[in-house]
């Protein structure tokens, strides 16, 4: 969206804040979130999260008591170069953190959820209850 505006000194700070808090700002902030695909078939849901270069040790997947799937990703990378002759030390480090919760569908069996990292993709498989298991989850309430 292009906006026509007069650039004069009186409105300089106003223009700065308008540009900073523009509605297009939030999608730019979310650009660091990994891409997520969710597929469904008859037996399960499969979530695929892009985690290029991330080791499985830095991926955490939990199921909460409230029926949510929590995904936590942490990327730590350090690079050190040291030249003893000149007593020079260069250290570069990089750190990113991503955390997201997803509400699980009612027909997912939380006890059978599994996850693995392969070729830069965290794949979480969430099997659905079988018809027999689903019937066990239902309980008839006697009306007094």
SS3 of 31, please? helix
Q: How far is CA 111 from CA 67, 80, 125, 127, 142, in A?
A: 11, 43, 11, 9, 28
**pLDDT means per 10 residues in the chain (144 residues)?**
44 49 47 86 95 89 93 75 60 77 92 95 94 72 83
- Quote the pLDDT of residue 4: 40
- Quote the pLDDT of residue 141: 80
- Quote the pLDDT of residue 97: 87
Q: What is the pTM of this model?
A: 0.64
Q: How far is CA 136 from CA 38, 89, 107, in A?
A: 27, 63, 12
Q: Measure the CA–CA gap between 68 and 45, rounded to whole angstroms.
A: 14
- Quote the pLDDT of residue 85: 62
- Quote the pLDDT of residue 35: 92
- Quote the pLDDT of residue 88: 57
Residue 125 CB-half CA count within 13 A: 10
C-beta of residue 113 within 8 angstroms of C-beta of residue 125? yes
Give me the domains of the chain, ranges plus CATH numbers: 34-71+102-137 (2.60.40.790)
Residue 95: partners with Cβ closer than 8 Å, 6 or more residues away: 74, 75, 76, 77
- Quote the pLDDT of residue 96: 79
């Amino acid at each position: 969206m292009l906006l026509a505006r007069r650039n004069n000194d009186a409105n300089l700070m106003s223009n700065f804040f308008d540009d900073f808090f523009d509605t297009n700002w939030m999608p730019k902030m979310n650009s660091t979130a990994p891409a997520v695909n969710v597929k469904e078939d008859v037996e399960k849901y499969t979530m695929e999260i892009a985690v290029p270069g991330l080791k499985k040790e830095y991926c955490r997947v939990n199921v909460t008591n409230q029926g949510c799937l929590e995904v936590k990703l942490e990327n730590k990378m350090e690079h050190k170069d040291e030249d003893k002759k000149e007593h020079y030390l260069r250290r570069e480090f990089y750190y990113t953190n991503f955390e997201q919760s997803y509400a699980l569908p009612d027909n997912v069996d939380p006890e059978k959820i599994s996850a693995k990292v392969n070729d830069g993709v965290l794949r979480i498989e969430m099997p659905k209850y079988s018809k027999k298991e689903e019937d066990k989850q239902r309980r008839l309430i006697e009306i007094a």
